Structure 1
Amino acid sequence: MWNEFKTFIARGNVFDLAVGVIIGAAFGNITKSLTEDVIMPVIGAIFGGLDFSSHFVLLGDVPAGYAGSLASYADLKKAGAPVLGYGEFVTVAINFVILAFIVFLMVRFVNRVMAAAQKPEPEAAPAPEPAELALLREIRDELKKR
């Protein structure tokens, strides 16, 4: 069983998958930062300082003994209050759209590069036939005429 496991792990596609997962996680962090630190503040500025991540609807009673702000989504969620965080969902949805668009651009770029690499070479014009071959053909044609 150990040898089978080593064979499985040594396959190239397992290593490729591992690299893909690691790169994907790092790419997800970059996209999250791009969304939260660059795009969402711009969207918030356009819509009058709107911060999507703090928008929520309180669905029930606040737990007894809660002393925090009723306007803080993070505090209410930490306290166990039933909250519907639609702002957080909007943020995650925007993250997804940005990530999907970036992946689309990367796949499009790779496809163009691969197509250019696999483009067949234009066929060269046939080389002119040697003078001896042309002379032999003329002799053959003359002999056929007789």
Structure 2
Amino acid sequence: MLKEFKEFALKGNLVDLAVAFIIGAAFSGLVQSVVNDLIMPIVGFITGGVDFSEMYIQLSGEPQPTLEQARAAGATLAYGNFITLLINFLIVAWVLFLIIKAMNRMKKKQEAAPPAPAEPTKEEVLLAEIRDLLAKKG
């Protein structure tokens, strides 16, 4: 059983998947930083200082000044985090779309490029030499 597991774990597809997962996790952290540190402050500035992370609706109890206090007071619908995650998702989807589009464009260029002419065989080289010799004599 250990041998079978070892063969399974070392298959190329599983290793590729593990590498992709690790890169995806790192990419997720990068996107989260871009959204939280760069985009959301700009969106907040444009919308007049709105901070999406603090947006909520108090469902029970009296309204509270902060999300943390509202959660402590009772049922709270915190939709601001959803807005932030939606923006994260849209940015990731857009970046992946651009990457795949660029890869497809490069693939099309490679497919459209004419193949390099094959080198002549020994027979073709000999026939060309015979043709050239005959042309000189005649």
TM-score (norm: length of structure 1): 0.73
* Matched AA of 2:89: F
Q: 1:121 to 1:14 in 2, by over 3 A?
A: same
> Cα distance, 1:106 vs. partner?
1.0
Alignment of 1:91 with 2:61, yes or no, is no
> Cα distance, 1:123 vs. partner?
7.6
Which has the larger Rg? 1
Runs (5+) with no aligned partner, structure 2 = 118-126
Please state whether the residue corresponding to 2:112 is helix, strand or coil.
coil
> Cα distance, 1:76 vs. partner?
3.3
> Cα distance, 1:52 vs. partner?
0.9
**Larger helix proportion, structure 1 or 2?**
2
> Cα distance, 1:122 vs. partner?
5.6
* Runs of 4 or more consecutive aligned structure 1 residues displaced over 6 Å after TM superposition: none
Corresponding residue number in structure 1 for 2:42: 42
> Cα distance, 1:110 vs. partner?
1.6
Larger relative contact order (CA 8 Å, sep ≥ 6): 1
Contact 2:60 2:73 in 1 (8 A): no
Alignment of 1:61 with 2:57, yes or no, is no
Give me the whole-angstrom Cα distance separating, in 1, the residues matched to 2:46 and 2:7: 56
Give identity over the alignment, percent. 39
TM-score (norm: length of structure 2): 0.77
> Cα distance, 1:120 vs. partner?
4.1
Please state whether the residue corresponding to 1:60 is helix, strand or coil.
coil
Q: Alpha-carbon deviations, 1:49-105, whole Å to 9, x = none?
A: 11111010011126xxxxxx922113433x373111111111111111011001111
Instruction: Pick from 71, 84, 93 the counterpart of residue 65 of structure 2.
Output: 71
* Residues paired across the two proteins, number: 124
RMSD, matched Cα: 2.5
* Matched AA of 1:70: Q
